[in-house]
């Protein structure tokens, strides 16, 4: 699984098209909160959080809304998404993989 710094960089990249709406401090916190998340998990999390502002609108508002009028993604959107989007690989599986890798994995790196 990606390390803290890598998760942060991935999240920055995923949010780039939204203007990187979170502060550096929020990004650091989010990277810590996503310990154990895979790249795919982070993508799902960012996608779900990006829908947070849209979920606040009624269907009729969404139909005729100017995209520039939608509020920016906020940390609260990620906190809500973290309740639904969990890591896909349980810690027990990671431990088994690490043990297998120690015994049978490539040790040339």
Give domain 4-104's CATH number out of 3.10.50.40, 1.25.40.10, 3.40.50.12170, 1.10.8.60. Answer: 1.10.8.60
What's the confidence (pLDDT) of residue 58? 86
What's the confidence (pLDDT) of residue 64? 84
Domain boundaries, the chain: 4-104
Dihedral angle, C-alpha 17, 19, 25, 28, nearest 10 °? 10
Single pTM value for the model: 0.80
Q: How many CA atoms lie within 13 A of 11 on its CB side?
A: 34
CB-based burial of residue 84 (10 Å sphere; 0-12 exposed, 13-18 middle, 19+ buried)?
exposed
Q: Which residues of the chain have pLDDT under 50?
A: none
Per residue in 56-79, pLDDT tens? 888 888 888 887 778 899 999 999
């Amino acid at each position: 699984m990606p390390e803290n710094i890598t998760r942060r960089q991935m999240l920055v990249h995923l949010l780039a098209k939204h203007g990187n709406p979170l502060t550096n401090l929020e990004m650091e916190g989010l990277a810590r909160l996503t310990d154990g998340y895979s790249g795919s998990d982070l993508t799902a999390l960012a996608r779900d959080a990006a829908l947070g502002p849209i979920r606040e609108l009624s269907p009729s508002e969404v139909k005729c809304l100017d995209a520039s009028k939608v509020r920016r993604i906020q940390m609260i959107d990620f906190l809500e998404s973290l309740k639904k989007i969990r890591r896909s690989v349980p810690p027990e599986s990671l431990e088994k993989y690490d043990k297998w890798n120690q015994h049978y994995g490539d040790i040339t790196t």
